[in-house]
Structure 1
Amino acid sequence: MALTQYYKSLVSEWSKDLASRDATVISNLLQQCKAELGNPEIFKTLNQNQCTQIHKDIFEIDALYRAGTSDINAFKQSIAMVLNFYKSHPNSGPEAFPQANLLTGLHLMYLLAVNDLPAFHMHLEQISPDLQANNSYISVPVKIEQFLNEGAFNKIVLTEKSLPSPYYLAFIRILMNTVREEIANNIEQSFKKLSSADATHLLLFANESEFSAFAQRREWKMQTVPEQGNIFLFEKVIAKNESVGSKTKLDTSRITNQTLFYAKQLEMIV
């Protein structure tokens, strides 16, 4: 039977260490398995437990594979199938679906990454307070949502170092890209000039080489100033100040120092 053969091959490949898996093989096997699931005739020779196990494994592997390859659009469809499958088996305990908390946590991460906060809170209400507090798969997205509300963006960066699963990484990176874009927009509106070192810190990059690619994509103009190093000039603020006269000048030195102070304090707290 084609389905059982594809299924066994898929499970065998997926059971390997993450680094040893062949992504192309897994992708092809998933496509073949899902195609076979649409044929009702193949289940006539399988009992209910076998059917449940096959569906569960294929749906879960598909969602995890999409998260691992950062295929966010495909993940949206895959995770919906997984969650619907869980809902269709309400009487099954945690031992039947040991990956359920991981997949639920990934779904919460996805909702944060696409900024669907109403759906995030709606799904969170369906999860017990105990799981929210004590299960790392669930508590991580809960904490990240709190960090976003507090503006404690550097804590999100630090969270990347202690994720409960490597499958969370794609969503953390999407969140950080969104956060950095928002910080960059605020920088462009608030500062006349900013050093490369301070910009690297404010945008939560580990070093200036990582920040350089970001600055180039934003088309930030850099000048090298003696004794000050590399400085970025922001024409939006300069043009705004010139248009209203010399009376309104931003104290960029004070704002920079204050922002950096808060960032450093948050790092000390963590």
Structure 2
Amino acid sequence: MAVTEVKRLAQALSQEFNSPNADLTKCGQHLSQLKIALIELSYLTHEDKHNNIEELTLARDVLEIGAQWSVRTKDIPSFERYMAQLQTYYNDHSELPASPLKYNLIGLNLLCLLSQNRISDFHTALETIDPEQLHNNPAIQHPVKLEQSLMEGSYNRVWSSRSEVPSKEYLFFIDILMNTIRNEIASCSEKAYTSLPLSDAGTLLFFTNMQDILNFAKERNWKVNPAEQKAYFHSDADEKVNIPAEQIIKQTMFYARDMDRIV
């Protein structure tokens, strides 16, 4: 594909993706064509040294849209691939004009690592960020503060961070993080209580909708009593343990007879 055709297709992708009602399927089709074209032009494989600033910037911009598109389509492996390709443009091509999306995407990548509990990778990624951006950029500070809240067990701050996201793409990974937190709280509650009022369970789990509470209770195999508005937890202690009494008695008698023979 000629460079002029790549530029035309990249412009069509940008217009579609940034439209109020973007067709994500069409964007995916554009991205598939552009990735093939960029590989043919060696902009993704970097086999040749390119000095054309305009074309390098074009390739970077396509990858940035691809990373955002991956989040909107909830495709984490695709997002990680786009971010891996973007690292070369962010780290090895200082001659390119600054991207307004760079730190927003880097922050999004940090949040992705955090949502997967990849804490060591999270801290490794922090070490590659410019110190000034690390301490002052809101897009970077958002996941950094989230990690601090998680370490302190301040889950309410994780929940409230939804209202402070640098972009709507952040909400996808925060929801994954909140789901992990809810299951952790639920596991602790099941060990601490035999039952809880549904309203209290909703408060503990940061649910504001009763249907969400009921759906979560179903996932956890809780028994919900509609009349009492309570959720009863399954307890291993409630299970009857079958002890093979007859087998144990026979085995004990066998050992006793053996002991008699020895004596």
Q: TM-score, normalised by structure 2?
A: 0.81
2:8 counterpart residue number:
8
Q: 1:180–1:203: 8 Å Cα contact kept in structure 2?
A: yes
Shift of 1:68: 1.9
How has the CA–CA distance of structure 1 residues 2 and 24 changed in structure 2, closer, same or farther, with 3 Å as cutoff? farther
1:158 counterpart residue number:
160
Question: What does 1:168-247 correspond to in 2, within 5 Å?
Answer: 168-224=170-226, 229-236=228-235, 239=238
Shift of 1:126: 2.4
Residue identity matched to 2:207: F
Question: What does 1:1-270 correspond to in 2, within 5 Å?
Answer: 1-2=1-2, 4-15=4-15, 17-40=18-41, 48-89=52-93, 91-92=94-95, 95-224=97-226, 229-236=228-235, 239=238
Superimposed CA distance per residue, residues 183-225 of structure 1 (whole angstroms, 9 cap, x where no aligned partner): 1111112211111000000011123222111111212101245
Residue identity matched to 1:38: I
| CA RMSD after TM alignment | 2.6
How many residue pairs match? The answer is 236
| Alpha-carbon distance in structure 1 between the residues aligned to 2:159 and 2:186 | 16
Unaligned segments of structure 2, at least 5 residues = 242-263
Superimposed CA distance per residue, residues 44-98 of structure 1 (whole angstroms, 9 cap, x where no aligned partner): 9x96123212211121111111112221121111111111322221x337x4322
Q: 1:101–1:137: 8 Å Cα contact kept in structure 2?
A: yes
1:249 counterpart residue number:
none
Residue identity matched to 2:89: F
Q: 1:3–1:37: 8 Å Cα contact kept in structure 2?
A: no
Residue identity matched to 2:195: K
| Alpha-carbon distance in structure 2 between the residues aligned to 1:105 and 1:75 | 13
Percent of aligned positions that are identical: 33
Shift of 1:6: 4.3
| Alpha-carbon distance in structure 2 between the residues aligned to 1:92 and 1:100 | 14
Q: TM-score, normalised by structure 1?
A: 0.79
Provide the secondary structure at the position in 2 that maps to 1:38.
Answer: helix
Q: 1:147–1:153: 8 Å Cα contact kept in structure 2?
A: yes
